[in-house]
Structure 1
């Protein structure tokens, strides 16, 4: 909302995204509430143009503030935006042409036979892997 001119400044200050809030402030608030948390808290840190110096500074500030977990997740923005494009739905509905059979390609009946054999082999292996009906035959859990 920061870039929208029609929004009053007081609302812009109230409604900020994680990228627009000072992460030093987030770390300080995390340290303040950390005294009331018996174990730890997961802290998301949002940084743009992250580099070694920024990360080191953030880690040392967290450590000096007394945080048990200085950073649980580091969120960064991508270096570039993904390409945005649309597809013409009328072009998608049109057939692109006939698919031709390749010479030397296996026939349909041969392919079906291979698929049946593969399915039967997979089914047999699945039965061996873990069958409560055959306690001696389970290799996975030793049931």
Structure 2
């Protein structure tokens, strides 16, 4: 779990429902995060601190679409845009390769 940055998706003993419930911030669809923030925004007088997580290789057009979606849905601000650093990417790639070898 530590080597997978907190992810449980690789654990075979968990069923799909548990894996869906216990996703990390990076594994959650960010469009859904924005939709949920838009619903909450209606009940907040000022603003909320909303962070989004995008993969480092996400095209700029897709990132822009997230920001436009937030604006159109009435989200007043997006606080930070997070991404994985190079070491995290390399580590995830190694884990994925190891898991693929174990499956064979």
1:57 aligns with 2:65: yes
Match of 2:76 among 68, 72, 76: 68
Q: CA distance change for structure 1 residues 81 and 66 in 2, over 3 Å: closer, same or farther?
A: closer
Deviation digits for residues 36-69 of structure 1 (CA, Å, limit 9, x no counterpart): 1000001010111233212211111111111111
In our comparison, the structure showing a higher alpha carbon Rg is 1
Match of 1:38 among 45, 51, 55: 45
Which structure carries more helix by proportion? 2
1:77 aligns with 2:59: no
Say how many residue pairs are matched: 83
Q: CA distance change for structure 1 residues 67 and 8 in 2, over 3 Å: closer, same or farther?
A: same
**TM-score scaled by structure 1?**
0.53
Q: Structure 2 matches for 1:80-119, cutoff 5 A?
A: 80-81=87-88
Q: Structure 1: state its 5+ residue gaps.
A: 85-143
CA RMSD of aligned residues (A): 2.0
How far apart, in 2, do the equivalents of 1:83 and 1:27 lie?
Answer: 28
Aligned residue for 1:11?
Answer: 18
**TM-score scaled by structure 2?**
0.72
Which structure has more relative contact order (CA 8 Å, sep 6+)? It is 2
Aligned residue for 1:110?
Answer: none
Q: CA distance change for structure 1 residues 35 and 79 in 2, over 3 Å: closer, same or farther?
A: same
How far apart, in 2, do the equivalents of 1:23 and 1:83 lie?
Answer: 22
Residue 15 of structure 1, CA deviation = 0.6
